Amino acid sequence: MSINQPNAPFVGTIEKSPKISLIGTLAMLVEAPGDFDLVQQGRIWALADAVSTWPNVQEAVIGVTNVMLVFEQPPADIDMLGASIVELWHRVPSRKADGKLIEIPVVYGGELGFDLSAVASRAGLSERDVIRIHSEGVYTVCAVASSPGFGYLHGLDPRIYMPRKSVPSLNMRAGSVTIGGMQTGVAVLTSPNGWNAIGWASVAMFDPEREQPSLMLPGDRVRFRIDRVEL
């Protein structure tokens, strides 16, 4: 019997290793193999937790199924360090989304949710359906990046995916609840923004005066609650 036959016994698979690359002498990017999923993301969180305690690691910066290590000094033996990370990757258990649950009241639609109708028409749904679908989801904070305290939220219902705009809205207000591709998030700064605004929340997402300045952290879960609907 050949293992190429479909009824061959399961003999295990050789799991791929992460891709490791340098960004100069003080940063190393570790990218999980394969497609995006929350199990791989959980392994990234666990890897980041572990390597953050290693000497010479200033911080571990979590991305979407990847983590960048920033060093205090250029590592003496870069190949050995890479090998240690690969070895750790294969044995570290995936961390669950075991962070805190954040509830965010949202004013859906209205002046600040100016893209709600476009999202609804692309989805072929009513605006109320978009609001219901968005507010029924439970989202996972994959990473905090791009601007201070901005969480990349996973778990959007595919029915309301909406591509980013090719021309960003010029002055999107901080607190705007947005959809960008298959992700949702809450804008932290008032600035140009290519995501689609469907509502607004008055939650303080970031406070630089606090030692832990970001409300959202990787592994937290987020629920959006309907505070008010303005159609």
Partner 1 sequence: MIEILNSPAFNTIQDLGRRGVRRFGVSTSGAMDPVALAVGNALLGNDDNAAGIEIQTFPFRLRFQTDTTFALTGADHDSTLAGSTVRPWWCTQAKAADVLAITAPRRGARVYATFGGGIDVPRVLGSRSTHLRGGFGGLEGRTLEAGDVVPIGRSPHRGDGRFDFGVAPPDVAIMGAAPADDRVLRIRVMRAGEYDLFSEAMQAAFWSTTWKISARSDRGGYRLTGGKLTLDAPVEMRSHGVVAGVVQVPPGGEPIIQMSDANTAGGYPKIAAVIEADLWRLGQAAPGSFIAFSEVSYQDAVAAMAPVDDYLAKLRATADLYRAL
Residues that bind partner 1 (CB under 8 A): 19, 21-27, 29, 31, 36, 58-68, 70, 74, 78, 143-150, 152, 188-189, 191, 206, 208-209, 212-214
Smallest gap from Cβ 218 to partner 1, in A, equals 8
Phi, psi of 130 (to 5 degrees): -60, -45
Smallest gap from Cβ 143 to partner 1, in A, equals 7
Smallest gap from Cβ 76 to partner 1, in A, equals 9
Q: Which is nearer to partner 1, 27 or 118 (CB)?
A: 27
What is d(CA 52, CA 168) in angstroms, rounded to the nearest whole number?
A: 35
Give the residue from 15, 16, 22 showing the smallest Cα distance to 82. 22
Smallest gap from Cβ 193 to partner 1, in A, equals 12
b/e for 71-92, b at 16 or more Cβ within 10 A?
beeebeeeeebbeebeebbeeb
Q: Which is nearer to partner 1, 88 or 189 (CB)?
A: 189
Collapsed DSSP state (helix, strand, coil) of residue 136: helix
Burial of residue 41 (CB within 10 Å: 0-12, 13-18, 19+) is buried
Q: Which is nearer to partner 1, 69 or 116 (CB)?
A: 69
Q: Which is nearer to partner 1, 135 or 183 (CB)?
A: 183
- End-to-end CA separation in angstroms for the chain: 65
Q: Which is nearer to partner 1, 130 or 222 (CB)?
A: 222
Query: Which single residue is written with the structure tokens 């409300």?
Result: 215
Smallest gap from Cβ 110 to partner 1, in A, equals 25
